[in-house]
Structure 1
């Protein structure tokens, strides 16, 4: 107070020499990369996706980022290359049976083993905690360690059995050199897809234009029949009409004869039925012998609602 005793110098003023740069804790960096979402900084939880540069995200965070179209949206360097949901791949991860999660440390008085990871390699069994290099396939999303690829060399996925190429392999949380290689592949892939789309559009436009030209072009001339053809055709039509009329008359006459013959047959059948014996006719209920007299018939009483 009052600057009566002078000022007390600090240590960096007394000690001469280059100042040491503080190093980032490697364990903390690994935990941030392999246990937390790169976009929302929340714990990774299924469904987990990865971009074409090998960074891990929660799928919900990516969807929220893509749906946010507000002008106040902060630019995210970690997700600037993600233009749509097709730019991320959902990962097919294998659970670690030795991982208990946060069940054992509910009060915060227990030591958390950072080295114990939630997921492991399905082939070798290495834990996905950042100590070992892991990769995934772009086609199927299966995740396994790089050691598994070196020990078991195959052109088929070790987990699902799907075929893959070297370009389909994407390293998770790789070094700067790995990220540069993956970025170049991503740009080449997107440029190729754009060129393919343009070629398809141009082909479709050409096909439409060709169809229009074929419709507008004059086709083969259709020769109309002259007067002579019309006269010939009319003569043929008259002959046909005449033949048809004769056929109709013949059919009507034949139908008349048939009707007459049918009426004669019905009369004959009626006379034959009349000649049948009374014994044969008494079998049926329509015969007079089958009918009862009033004395033989019973008296029926009809009950109405007013009877009771």
Structure 2
């Protein structure tokens, strides 16, 4: 049985060390954030939308979530700030010519190659796979890599020509600090919109 005189236990068998911290599979995390809808957990497919915090959703998933008025509707933290379809922006994504789609994925067990993704930056051609920072312009919904916005300085969209300001640039799937900054900007934007609405109503009543 052990410890009965026949064997001498070693120290590591008697003293338990600290539990090893399980490392999160970085590839799995990237796939979850860049390939799948934050709300429904289904694969991203056009039309794709993003909120002011830079999270990606399938548009139909957001619409279904907003239309669900049942009392037992689950509270989804990732969409708690989305109150109407106006709180998300439909993205103008650039297709990757090298993307082969889901051909051959009949069993649903195909390996997701992080080097060949469905969308790319239309300016510098890098893959939208989480390896490079990507942003979208809230003014028009066009999506670019951060590198493209830094290398080609302009105040109009590279793709559609719509003018934009610095506050219109929203980082997709940013880190904790970036999301916190985007949250502050979102609150400020909503407050300004609310004040503008109140002012408009006040002016209307005054002129009535």
Same fold (TM over 0.5): yes
Q: 1:150 matched to which residue of 2? A: 150
Q: 2:137 matched to which residue of 1? A: 137
Native 8 Å contact 1:105 1:112 kept in 2: no
For residues 14-60 of structure 1, the C-alpha deviation after alignment (integer angstroms, 9 at most, x for no partner) is: 44332221111000000000000000000001100000000000000
Which consecutive segments of 4 or more residues in structure 1 shift more than 4 A? 107-112
Q: 2:204 matched to which residue of 1? A: 204
For residues 101-149 of structure 1, the C-alpha deviation after alignment (integer angstroms, 9 at most, x for no partner) is: 1213435786542321100000000000000000000011000100011
Aligned partner of residue 101 in structure 1, secondary structure: coil
Moved more, 82-91 or 111-120: 111-120
Aligned: 1:106 with 2:141: no
Q: 1:118 matched to which residue of 2? A: 118
Q: 1:175 matched to which residue of 2? A: 175
Q: Output aligned runs, 1:73-84, within 5 Å.
A: 73-84=73-84
Q: 2:46 matched to which residue of 1? A: 46
Gaps of 5+ in 1: 7-11, 209-308
Let me know the Cα RMSD of the aligned residues: 2.2
For 1:191 and 1:105, how far apart are their aligned partners in 2? 46
Change (3 A) 1:41 1:112: closer
For 1:69 and 1:167, how far apart are their aligned partners in 2? 33
Flag the structure with higher helix content. Answer: 1
Change (3 A) 1:190 1:91: same
Moved more, 63-72 or 149-158: 149-158
Native 8 Å contact 1:135 1:169 kept in 2: yes
CA shift, 1:201, in A, is 1.3
For 1:193 and 1:13, how far apart are their aligned partners in 2? 65
Taking structure 2 as the reference length, the TM-score comes to 0.90
For 2:87 and 2:30, how far apart are their aligned partners in 1? 24
For 1:21 and 1:106, how far apart are their aligned partners in 2? 36
Taking structure 1 as the reference length, the TM-score comes to 0.62
The structure whose RCO (Cα within 8 Å, separation 6+) is larger is: 2
Aligned partner of residue 57 in structure 2, secondary structure: strand
Gaps of 5+ in 2: 3-11
CA shift, 1:169, in A, is 0.3
